[in-house]
Structures are given as C-alpha cells and as structure tokens.
Amino acid sequence: MADVMPTTAPGKLILLERIPPPVWVIGLVLLVMPAFASNFVLYQIFGWSFILGMIALSLMVLAGYGGMVSLIQMTVGALAGYVVAILGTSGVTDISLGWPWWLHIPIAILIATLFGTLVGTLAVRTEGIYTIMITLAIAAAFFYFTRQNYGIFNGYTGFNNVIPPRLFGIDWRQSVPFYYLTLGCAALSYGAVVWMARTPFGLALQGVRDNPRRMSALGFSVTAHRIAAYAFASVIAAVGGILLVWQNAQVVPGTAGIPQVIDILVIAVVGGLRRPIGPFIGAIIYTVLSVFSSDILHAFGMSGERFKLVIGLGFLAVVFFSPDGVLGLWEKYKARRDENRDPLLGGGR
C-alpha cells in the first residue's frame, strides 16, 4: 500500500481517481525521500514521526470518531513492545523466551489489543473528562507496575537490544528499510482508518459520538460500538508501539511514562483530531521541534533544555486559538479565502 500513500481504500481502485493531486505528490515525495534525505532525517525524523503518528492516530480514531479522549494508547503500544521483548529476543536472556517472529508479533498485537479493549470496557462506563482521568490513571498504574515488577517486566531497566527480526535478509534497523517499514505501516493504518470511517460501523460510531441517545433508540448498542472502537484503535497503537520499541531497540517503563502519554495527546491535538492526517502532521511538528529544539532555542539565546517549554507553549497556543489543531487553522484560512471569492466569477473581489 505504500505506493499510494497517504490516501487509499484497500481493494477499491475506483477510489484512486478521487484522490486529489496534492496527495499523489506527497505520496511520491515520501516514496523517493531516501534518494535525497540523509539517514538521520529518514530514521530519526520520519521514522519517529510515522510511529508517533500511528499511536496518535489511534487516539484520533477514539477522539475524532468516537468522542472519547483516551490517554491509554501509548500504554497499549508499550505493552505490545514489552510482549515482543518478553516472547521474542532481547538483551535480558533470562526473561525473553526467544520465540520466532511469526509467533511473538501477532501475540503481542493480540495481547495489547485485549488490554486496550479491557481498558475501553472500563472507560466507556464514563463520559467526557472522566474518560481522560480514568485512562490517565490506568496509564500511570501501568507505568508504576512495570517499574516495580522484576519477574516479567524487568523493572526499572526494562529490556534492551530488542531488534526487528532479519526478514528477507534485510536488516530492518538500517535507515532506509526502517523508513519504508514505518512508512508502509503508517500508510496501512491510515488507509484502515479512512476505510473504517466509511464502513457502516464507522458511520454508526460517528453517530454514537454525535447523539448516543438517538443511536441507542435506533437499536445500535452504544457500548458495543465504543468498545469495538477501542479494540480497533488498540491494534494500530500496538503496531506503532512495536515499531517504537524496535526503533529505540529498548523498552523501559518510561516508554509509557506520564509525559509520553501526554505527548501523544499533544501530538494528536496539535495536528487536529478531526481527520486521520492530523496526527501525522502533529507528529512531524513534534519530532522536528524535539530534534532541533536545542538549535532553535540557542538561536533565541536560551538554553537547549527548555524543549518542554516550547512544546507546552506551542500546545497552549494551538488549543487557545484553534481547537482543531493545525488542520483547523488551514481550514479556517481556506474558509476565509473562499469567503472573499465571488461565488459566480471566482477569483478575488
């Protein structure tokens, strides 16, 4: 699916004609990126952006289509990473079981999905801000649990040397293969989300978001749709989590610490929670800021450690001025431009 990034619905060629030209251009640029971008840019900026974008995308599914802001997505991803480290190979040989990749990766996704669904089952009993608090509290519990449990999660040190399997003789941790791996996964999950939003399930989910009482009067189970949304989002978060663990070659309690959990929310909100592309835009802004923050801050004569301040102020500004994130700003600009245009003749007035 990587060749039609970023918009496609699997198996429906007719849809390809509806894809606007800018998307083709972006897809093409992303595909030939390795030809001109440095390895650092490919691995640290784009690889990381795609991964964070996927995890934030799973939050976008829940928040944008389901109306539930869940802070558990990073934890679901980290759990998948942990399972990969425990069942697969890692530097901690007395815990890791060393199962083959075709066994431990599906099991990791399955376990993380089960966990996410379970949390969802608990969280859908509540609404709005309660959901945020409950998922935040469960995420914190997971963080403390992994930090204190040495039997399974290896406590404070976690697992190091968790690397992707050598499939087809390729070292997937090299910059170019890893770039394509993350690009492919991100495109697939993007496509899956776009497709899901148009299925009867996705439409019903959006109906549940807009008016749960009416939907339940129409015979839809509100709870079942919400829990199913958690399950769907958990799969994406789990894949993202595994990729994240492979990228860092390690998984530690801090992988899903409170700041990281909040970062996912920041990314999704800054990008925009309305459309699936938003989280990826947010992720690119976040990674660029975090990688180059020290340079940017030095340019303004400040110490490079104040990265969080920049992120926090940027986040505040976005939430203050455009609740729909950067995408919302773009749409506002477009709406204003269209307003100034003569409806009959086109062009400026």
Site residues, other proteins (CB under 8 A): 69, 122, 125-126, 128-130, 132-134, 136-138, 140-141, 144-145, 148-150, 258, 262, 265-266, 269, 305-306, 308-309, 311-313, 315-316, 319-320, 323
In this structure, what DSSP letter does residue 169 have?
Answer: G
Q: Which is nearer to other proteins, 63 or 188 (CB)?
A: 63
CB of 259 to other proteins, least distance (A): 8
Q: Which is nearer to other proteins, 138 or 251 (CB)?
A: 138
Which residue, 22, 347, 18, 26, is CA-closest to 186? Answer: 26
CB 144, min distance to other proteins, A: 4
Angle between helices 101-123 and 73-87 (to 10 degrees): 150
Task: Please check whether residue 15 is in contact with residue 8, taking contact to mean a CB–CB distance below 8 angstroms.
Answer: yes
In the complex, the smallest distance separating the C-beta of residue 305 from other proteins, rounded to whole angstroms, is: 8
Contact of 277 with 327, CB cutoff 8 Å: yes
**In angstroms, what is the minimal distance from the CB of 120 to other proteins?**
13
107/122 with CB nearer other proteins: 122
Q: Which residue lies nearer to other proteins by CB, 88 or 257?
A: 257
- What DSSP string runs through 237-267? HHHHHHHHHHHHTEE-GGGG-HHHHHHHHHH
Of the pair 121, 160, the CB lying nearest other proteins is at 121
Quickly tell me which residue has 């004609």 as its tokens. 17
Report d(CA 324, CA 50) in Å as an integer: 20
Considering the complex, state which of residue 19 and residue 95 has its C-beta at the smaller distance from other proteins.
Answer: 95
Q: How far is the CB of 153 from other proteins (least distance, A)?
A: 11
Residue 19 token pair: 């894809």
Least distance from C-beta 291 to other proteins, angstroms?
18
Say if CB 145 and CB 153 are below 8 A apart.
Answer: yes
CA nearest neighbour of 267 among 14, 106, 55: 55
Cis check for the bond before 10: say yes or no (omega within 30 of 0).
no
Cβ proximity to other proteins: between 138 and 237 the closer is 138
CA R_g for the chain: 21
- Minimum CB separation from other proteins for residue 303, in Å? 8
